[in-house]
């Protein structure tokens, strides 16, 4: 992101605030079947960057969700995407004019895929326009912002969902089923490793004002969220330690590597790591008294690979964003209750944990977690 683009976004934000085993396991998971009946969720994509491109391509295979609007600060992108995805020009907006979606009956929801610092203000504006909010993770910069988003959407009578695509992923859901059915026994330990070596030093993810932090706010959220849905509980305490080996690349307030530990009500513990300076870190491991489950890769775009003490999980891959958007359509339009929640109230817990991790790093002290 160049300086003029970054300055433009800042101005917009300010104005808005006004060991595999030999025998394969026969999976009991039900393969993903798209919802083929009922209304279609009409979605405007906000922020037409790299991940939005992935979402847009995946949505071409959706049965219940379609792109009917576009929001961007770059006129050229609006022109290109409008033609590519057959979105009428009247449904294209910039960041200063998108409040007008209030009067557009062809848009039901807005998927916010912008830098982290913009999520809060943009979600409030979308809610005020009476449209459902789908927001990329992390949903906000901190827990207070996240709670304000939840309250605004509740008051407006609209849904607030967060783009936790892994909570719809079949290998993940199969392990959750096994845990719920007691096949792994009492859960004792979880390990989550999330990291990669980040590239372009000028990108917004390394700008504290736009990202709100560093690796923890990006890749680390996967291990935080994964610990919760794999163990099946919310942690009650956290300890954390920050390591910075390249202060020249990672400025003040932009974390390079953080290791963090959780304790759960049942007595289970977790050990996790998030980093922007090490590759090949995408693994979840869950240990129980009767067995184990592993995902490696655990959160990449796919295919996800799972195995347990019985052997590999043999589950076919479906594009995560396609599944996510069809399932979110069912949540919004049909009132479907997903196996794993993706609503804003549940996502606030991740922000409470993020805040506590940063405080634990700052103070060197264990932090008790209070979600209310």
Catalytic residue among 95, 137, 229, 276: 137
Q: Are 287 and 189 in contact (CB under 8 A)?
A: yes
In the 8-state DSSP scheme, what is residue 280? S
137 is catalytic: yes
85 is catalytic: no
Listed in order, strand segments (DSSP E) in the chain are 41-46, 65-71, 92-93, 109-112, 132-135, 160-162, 187-195, 237-243, 257-263, 269-275, 281-288, 292-295, 306-308, 311-312, 367-368
**Residues written for the chain:** 372
For residues 105 and 44, what is the distance between their CA atoms, to the nearest angstrom? 12
Q: Are 120 and 347 in contact (CB under 8 A)?
A: no
Q: Are 275 and 257 in contact (CB under 8 A)?
A: yes
Burial classification of residue 70, based on how many CB atoms lie within 10 Å of its CB (0-12 exposed, 13-18 middle, 19 or more buried)? buried
Catalytic residue among 222, 229, 276, 358: 222
For residues 367 and 309, what is the distance between their CA atoms, to the nearest angstrom? 34
Structure tokens at 251: 């400025």
Q: How far is CA 114 from CA 49, 119, 343, 357, in A?
A: 8, 7, 19, 24
Catalytic residues: 137, 222
């Amino acid at each position: 992101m160049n300086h003029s683009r970054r300055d433009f976004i800042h101005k917009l934000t300010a104005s808005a605030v006004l060991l595999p085993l030999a025998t394969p396991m026969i999976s009991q998971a039900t393969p993903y079947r798209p919802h083929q009946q009922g209304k279609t969720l009409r979605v405007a994509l906000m922020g037409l960057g790299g991940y939005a491109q992935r979402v847009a391509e995946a949505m071409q295979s959706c049965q219940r969700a379609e792109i009917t609007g576009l929001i961007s600060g770059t006129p050229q992108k609006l022109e290109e995407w409008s033609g590519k995805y057959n979105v009428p020009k009247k449904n294209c907006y910039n960041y200063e004019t998108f409040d007008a979606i209030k009067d557009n009956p062809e848009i039901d929801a807005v998927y916010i895929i912008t830098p982290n610092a913009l999520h809060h203000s943009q979600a409030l504006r979308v809610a005020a326009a009476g449209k459902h909010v789908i927001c990329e993770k992390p949903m906000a910069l901190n827990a207070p912002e996240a709670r304000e988003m939840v309250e605004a959407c509740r008051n407006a009578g609209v849904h607030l969902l967060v783009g936790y695509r892994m909570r719809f992923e079949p290998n993940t859901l199969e392990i959750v089923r096994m845990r719920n059915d007691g096949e792994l026994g009492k859960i004792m330990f979880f390990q989550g490793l999330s990291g990669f070596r980040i590239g372009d030093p000028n990108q917004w993810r390394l700008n504290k004002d736009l990202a709100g932090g560093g690796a923890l706010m990006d890749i680390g959220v996967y291990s935080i969220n994964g610990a919760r849905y794999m163990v099946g509980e919310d942690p009650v305490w956290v300890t954390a330690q920050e390591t910075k080996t390249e202060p020249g690349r990672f400025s003040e307030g932009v974390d390079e590597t953080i290791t963090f530990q959780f304790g759960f009500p049942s007595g289970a513990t977790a050990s996790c790591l998030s980093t922007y300076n090490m590759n090949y870190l995408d693994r979840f491991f869950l240990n129980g008294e009767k067995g184990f489950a592993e995902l490696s890769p655990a959160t990449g775009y796919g295919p996800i690979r799972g195995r347990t003490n019985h052997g590999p999980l043999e589950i076919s891959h479906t594009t995560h964003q396609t599944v996510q958007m069809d399932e979110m359509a069912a949540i919004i339009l049909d009132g479907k209750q997903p196996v794993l929640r993706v609503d804003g109230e549940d996502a606030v817990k991740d922000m409470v944990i993020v805040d506590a991790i940063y405080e634990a790093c700052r103070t060197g002290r264990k932090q008790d977690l209070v979600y209310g």
